[in-house]
Amino acid sequence: MLSEAQGLPLAVAVSAANLHDSQALKPLVLGIPAVRSRRGPRRRKPLKVRADKAYYSAEHLRWLRSRHLVPRIARPGIESGERLGRHRWKIERSIA
């Protein structure tokens, strides 16, 4: 599930149980619909992408940056998941 900052789901996908979560990142980001706004043109993409350590790889970081997205992904063995936890509860609440 991919949600916006307040927890509103933007894209949802179901995959096989034996598929690694990181393989679902690209289809979810590509599946984000245009964001409707009251004024001006529609925004087509978010500015930042936050994800846990399972999504950290050089390929994903390059791909997100090539799409002009700022990746905020915890690095395994370097950063703890606590900083990400203050944002993660919103997606956990949406899934529940």
Q: What is the CA radius of gyration of the chain?
A: 14
Per-residue pLDDT at 11:
78
What are the 10-residue block averages of pLDDT along the chain, 96 residues in total? 74 80 84 72 74 86 91 77 61 70
CA separation for the pair 52, 62 (Å, rounded)? 17
Which residue, chain included where needed, has tokens 């791909």? 63
Q: Report the number of distinct structural domains present in the chain.
A: 1
From residue 18, give the alpha-carbon distance in Å to each of 13, 14, 15, 49: 15, 12, 8, 24
Per-residue pLDDT at 59:
93
Range of the domain at 15: 2-95
Q: What is the model's pTM?
A: 0.69
Per-residue pLDDT at 91:
67
Per-residue pLDDT at 39:
73
